[in-house]
Amino acid sequence: MTQPIFMIGARGAGKTTVGSALAQALGFKFVDTDSYLLQTSKLSVAEIVEREGWEGFRRRETQALESTSAPQTVVATGGGIVLAAENRAFMRRTGTVIYLRSPAATLAQRLEESPLEDQRPTLTGKPITEEMLQVLNERENLYQEAAHIVIDGTQDPASIVDAILDALAAPVAR
Ligand SMILES: Nc1ncnc2c1ncn2[C@@H]1O[C@H](COP(=O)(O)OP(=O)(O)OP(=O)(O)O)[C@@H](O)[C@H]1O
Ligand SMILES: O=C(O)C1=C[C@@H](O)[C@@H](O)[C@H](O)C1
Ligand SMILES: [Mg+2]
């Protein structure tokens, strides 16, 4: 298996944390669309949104997805990557898509402990638990639709990597 692996899920799902460990386990390269945008634009997510709105950020994110995607690479995406049908189709067509799934309360707790406000400006203006409930309500179907594999993201990162390796060893429905 050499095609890229795309990690999807909401903020705090562990796409960056688990994606990086998975890449190491597979001997793959690791890239992150949020880090790529930060490095190439020299702007944080908050600064891009301030200048160009979320629409501008989403446009840049689609470019970042296509630029970072490569064989033998794990790509950690941003939480909103699934909002564009174009991105969902690209990931499904060119790689294996893994959805790290956790309830809103788990995501909110992780984000409260590590807010990184420059990279995670508010999406709704609501308190964090309400925000994550709304985000999952709006996006759960999109994450499910985009994913080849859905993994319980509430386990510790090492167990999640093991679960992904097991799932990758079985035939994936396409
Ligand atoms: N499985 C896990 N168990 C416990 N804590 C975790 C787990 N995965 C990630 N975390 C913690 O949650 C926080 C968010 O993780 P991470 O940055 O990997 O999420 P993300 O999905 O990449 O979010 P974003 O969409 O904002 O990029 C970090 O502080 C990380 O250490
Ligand atoms: O869930 C989202 O819409 C986002 C998640 C982050 O990874 C960043 O891509 C950005 O803060 C937007
Ligand atoms: Mg991340």
- What is the number of domains present in the chain? 1
pLDDT tens digits along 20-65: 999 999 999 999 999 999 999 999 999 999 999 999 999 999 999 9
What is the rounded distance in angstroms from the CA atom of residue 119 to the CA atom of residue 104? 19
pLDDT at 59: 98
Domain assignment present for 168: no
Domain assignment present for 102: yes
Give DSSP secondary structure letters for 32-100. EHHHHHHHHH---HHHHHHHHHHHHHHHHHHHHHHHH--TTEEEEPPTTGGGSHHHHHHHHHHSEEEEE
Segments forming the whole domain that contains residue 9: 3-160
> Cβ neighbours of residue 124 under 8 Å, at least 6 residues apart?
130, 131, 134, 135
Residues paired with residue 32 on neighbouring β-strands, in sequence order: 76
Task: From 110, 101, 97, 107, select the one nearest 149 (Cα to Cα).
Answer: 97
pTM exceeds 0.90, yes or no: yes
Domain assignment present for 165: no
Residue 172 pLDDT class (50, 70, 90 cuts): confident
Domain assignment present for 172: no
Ligand 2 touching residue 123 (CB < 6 A): yes
Ligand 2 touching residue 119 (CB < 6 A): yes
Domain assignment present for 118: yes
The three-class DSSP label of residue 117 is: coil
Domain assignment present for 99: yes
For atom 10 of ligand 1, the residue with the nearest CA is 14
pLDDT tens digits along 107-145: 999 999 999 999 999 999 999 999 999 999 999 999 999
We report the CATH number of the domain holding residue 99 as: 3.40.50.300
For atom 1 of ligand 2, the residue with the nearest CA is 79
Sign of the alpha-carbon dihedral angle for 22, 25, 28, 29: positive
> How remote is the CA of residue 115 from the centroid of ligand 3, in Å?
12
The three-class DSSP label of residue 165 is: helix
pLDDT tens digits along 70-94: 999 999 999 999 999 999 999 999 9
Which amino acid is residue 142, in one-letter code?
Answer: L
ipTM: 0.99
Binding residues for ATP: 12-17, 120, 155
Ligand 1 touching residue 139 (CB < 6 A): no
For atom 4 of ligand 1, the residue with the nearest CA is 156
Whether residue 174 is predicted with pLDDT greater than 90 in this model: the reply is: no
Atom of ligand 1 nearest to the CA of 7: 21
pLDDT at 65: 98
pLDDT at 46: 97
pLDDT tens digits along 93-106: 999 999 999 999 99
> How remote is the CA of residue 85 from the centroid of ligand 2, in Å?
16
Backbone torsions φ then ψ of 96, nearest 5 degrees: -110, 130
